[in-house]
Amino acid sequence: MAIDPKFIRNFSIIAHIDHGKSTLADQLLLQSGAISQREFREQLLDDMDLERERGITIKARAVAINYLLDGQTYELNLIDTPGHVDFHYEVSRSLAACEGAILLVDSTQGVQAQTVANAYAAIGADLTIVPALNKIDMQASRPEEVKDEIEQTLGLDRHEVLAVSGKTGQGVPELFKAIIDRIPAPAGKVDAPLRALIFDSKFDDYQGVVVYCRVVDGTLRTGQKIRLMAGDTEHEVTGLGRFRPHAVACDELSVGQVGYVIANIKLLSEVRIGDTITTAIRPATDALPGYQEPRQVVYCGLFPATHNQFDDLRTALQKLSLNDASFTFEPETSDALGFGFRCGFLGMLHMEIVQQRLERESNLALVQTAPNVTYEILTRQGEVLHVSNPTRIPEPGDIEEFREPIAKVQFIIPADAIGQLMQLCTDRRGIYLKTEYITPTRVILAYELPLAEMIYDLYDKLKSTTRGYGTMDYDLIGYRAADLVRLDVLVAGDKVDALSVVVHRDQAYRRGLRLVKKLKAEIDKHQFEIAIQAAIGSKIVARETISAMRKNVTAKCYGGDITRKRKLLEKQKEGKKRMKQVGNVEISQDAFLSVLDSSEE
């Protein structure tokens, strides 16, 4: 028998990183009896090592919890959301599968940038917000102040704010009651053609793609022939079920229910987040709203450190894409680096994760080029090009308008860091939007910044400027024309395409000087002199020279130190593995990345 939708609640927990979302989720499972005390361990929902290390939930999941309140059993579906700025779209799809959200705020830390961003996303998705303070068992908890912040920044009523501790379980029964009382039951038409929203998917070695969905209208059954509306493919449902938190199979999912679908799908790329599942026999006419193609905003080149590992790299990328359909890769040839791939990512964090996973899982030494954004170029011929590789940018004479992506960035920072942060944004061609005081000591600062100025180290700079207290969130708002040029680098007279960067013309000379200086510091001395030049077109704008190595030998009798000496040399050798031979010059991985380093000496 299908459960009556009025006893179903679908919700997410939204929070800033490290505000205790996973621990609270585990506590909900524990108190509902879904897991034992023994299974109650931290980060139960985060099942990948990498994510656990970083304290970030990347892959959303859904857990069905049965909870008994006043003699009635409710089915509560907790839909986990990614916590990082790079995964906006995934967050929005997870929220679209819910009617409500617990807004969890660490009562020792207060409202942070992603608290605000996620809360606005939830409010924008028309969700009922259940605000809750976490970690109230801790000494440093300051509930009243944080309630002020919630009231001030989000306009929520302080009297509706609950107080819980994910760790001790304090306040969790009240939270369950609030979920049931405040969050609306799902509304949907049982008799209408099936429409289910795909909000996540993952790849399983044995079962292929596992699709997570929320049924909006109609019923999903095993054996049914289904159709993915945007993907325009058909599949047969071979398995249905829910996580409680371990997978439990069922025959059908009805209106309002959340679960997984297995339909003999081989490739993760066939399933698109935000797509609508309907039936092949009686398809719905309109898909659920809000579907978007995944949008890569940051690109970089990945090359094997040794030439003969191209195929290994391709295999590794293909394998990785089975588990992550949101990054793209296509073969690229660089004069300097040989054969590799141009890869697109949802953001910087995403790029870093993919790269680490590649190295960890495939044991490949990689050389990564400096990350860049996608530029939009209007040519003299009236053509609009999207270029995500600096080497593909047309000659200056062929460009009518050079456009770059712009992001609206929101920082939440201690008030005393305003000056420094404004300077930082001004240096990066930011356009000031507004300042808003949350409390007398904490401020929201909003800017429009070129995405290219953000991707390399803005986050690190924010953290160092604010001694770790600052947080940020961003949203892409479109392309804007700017006076941009491509700055090329010549090493020993040869242009190294992989070192080209796009910069604003006003900054080109300064960047050029800094760049050759950085490269001089990063490239080791060779047995010959090496000229490093920066050029715009054919015009050299900066030059440095690396003098030839004269002497590199320990003239010493190290009788007892043989092992130490060997280990020192082996360490040097290890560092060389990540070197790329360009002409006669060996260039380190750090050198390739140093072109984007904006810090002065």
Partner 1 sequence: MKGTEQIPERYHSSRGKIQAGQVVSSGTSGSHTPRAAYIHVPFCAHKCGYCDFASLAGSDHLADRYLVALEREMAMRLSEPRPVDTIFIGGGTPTRLDASQLARLLSAVAHWFPLDAGGEWTVEANPGTLDESKVEVLHRGGVNRVSLGAQSFHRPSLKVLERNHDPEDVPKAVDWVRSAFDRWSLDLIFGVPGSTLEHWSNDLEQALALGPDHLSCYGLTFEKGTLLWKQQADGAVHAIDEDVEYAQFAYALDRLASAGLRQYEISNHARPGQECRHNLVYWSNAPYFGVGLGAARFVDRVRAINTRDLMAYLKRVEAGDDPTGPSEQLETDEFARETLMLMLRRTQLGVNRQEFQERTGVSLESVAGESLGRHIQRGNLEDDGQKVWLTRQGIFVADMVLADML
Report the residue number, 140 or 557, with the smaller CB distance to partner 1.
557
Cβ at position 547, least distance to partner 1 in Å? 9
Q: State the Cα–Cα distance between residues 115 and 110, nearest whole angstrom.
A: 9
Cβ at position 544, least distance to partner 1 in Å? 17
Cβ(279)–Cβ(253) below 8 Å:
no
Copy the structure tokens of residue 286: 């309109």
What single letter denotes the amino acid at residue 486?
R
Report the residue number, 225 or 564, with the smaller CB distance to partner 1.
564
Greatest extent of the chain over all pairs of C-alpha atoms, in Å: 89
Report the residue number, 159 or 550, with the smaller CB distance to partner 1.
550
Cβ at position 524, least distance to partner 1 in Å? 9
Q: State the Cα–Cα distance between residues 406 and 453, nearest whole angstrom.
A: 9
Cβ at position 584, least distance to partner 1 in Å? 9
Report the residue number, 356 or 584, with the smaller CB distance to partner 1.
584
Written in H, E and C, the secondary structure of 392-413 is: HCCCHHHEEEEEEEEEEEEEEE
Q: Are strands 208-217 and 195-204 parallel, antiparallel or unpaired?
A: antiparallel
What single letter denotes the amino acid at residue 432?
Y
Report the residue number, 187 or 569, with the smaller CB distance to partner 1.
569
Cβ at position 302, least distance to partner 1 in Å? 25
Cβ at position 304, least distance to partner 1 in Å? 17
Report the residue number, 159 or 556, with the smaller CB distance to partner 1.
556
Cβ at position 590, least distance to partner 1 in Å? 17
Query: From start to end of 244-374, where are the E strands?
Result: 247-249, 252-253, 258-262, 276-279, 298-304, 328-334, 338-345, 366-368
**Cα torsion 329, 457, 55, 366: sign:** positive
Report the residue number, 1 or 553, with the smaller CB distance to partner 1.
553
Report the residue number, 1 or 562, with the smaller CB distance to partner 1.
562
What single letter denotes the amino acid at residue 313?
L
Report the residue number, 434 or 556, with the smaller CB distance to partner 1.
556
Q: State the Cα–Cα distance between residues 464 and 334, nearest whole angstrom.
A: 35
Copy the structure tokens of residue 235: 């599949």
Cβ at position 505, least distance to partner 1 in Å? 39
Dihedral of the alpha carbons of 394, 398, 400, 403, in degrees to the nearest 10:
0
Q: State the Cα–Cα distance between residues 291 and 582, nearest whole angstrom.
A: 44
DSSP-derived letter for residue 90 is: H
Residues in contact with partner 1 by CB under 8 A are 527, 549-557, 559-563, 565-566, 569-570, 572-573, 576
Q: State the Cα–Cα distance between residues 543 and 151, nearest whole angstrom.
A: 56
Cβ(12)–Cβ(25) below 8 Å:
no
Cβ at position 496, least distance to partner 1 in Å? 21
Report the residue number, 527 or 538, with the smaller CB distance to partner 1.
527
Cβ at position 586, least distance to partner 1 in Å? 10
Q: Which of 477, 332, 328 is nearest to 407 (CA)?
A: 477
Cβ at position 551, least distance to partner 1 in Å? 4
Copy the structure tokens of residue 559: 């009788």
Report the residue number, 363 or 552, with the smaller CB distance to partner 1.
552
Q: State the Cα–Cα distance between residues 133 and 131, nearest whole angstrom.
A: 7
Cβ at position 326, least distance to partner 1 in Å? 40
What single letter denotes the amino acid at residue 216?
V
Report the residue number, 168 or 547, with the smaller CB distance to partner 1.
547
Cβ at position 572, least distance to partner 1 in Å? 4
Q: State the Cα–Cα distance between residues 294 and 386, nearest whole angstrom.
A: 16
Q: Which of 81, 114, 119, 113 is nearest to 97 (CA)?
A: 81
Q: State the Cα–Cα distance between residues 49 and 43, nearest whole angstrom.
A: 10
Cβ at position 568, least distance to partner 1 in Å? 8
Q: State the Cα–Cα distance between residues 547 and 525, nearest whole angstrom.
A: 7
Length of the chain: 601
Cβ(130)–Cβ(150) below 8 Å:
no
539 strand-pairing partners: 536
Cβ(584)–Cβ(489) below 8 Å:
no
Report the residue number, 139 or 563, with the smaller CB distance to partner 1.
563
Cβ(136)–Cβ(165) below 8 Å:
yes
Report the residue number, 38 or 550, with the smaller CB distance to partner 1.
550
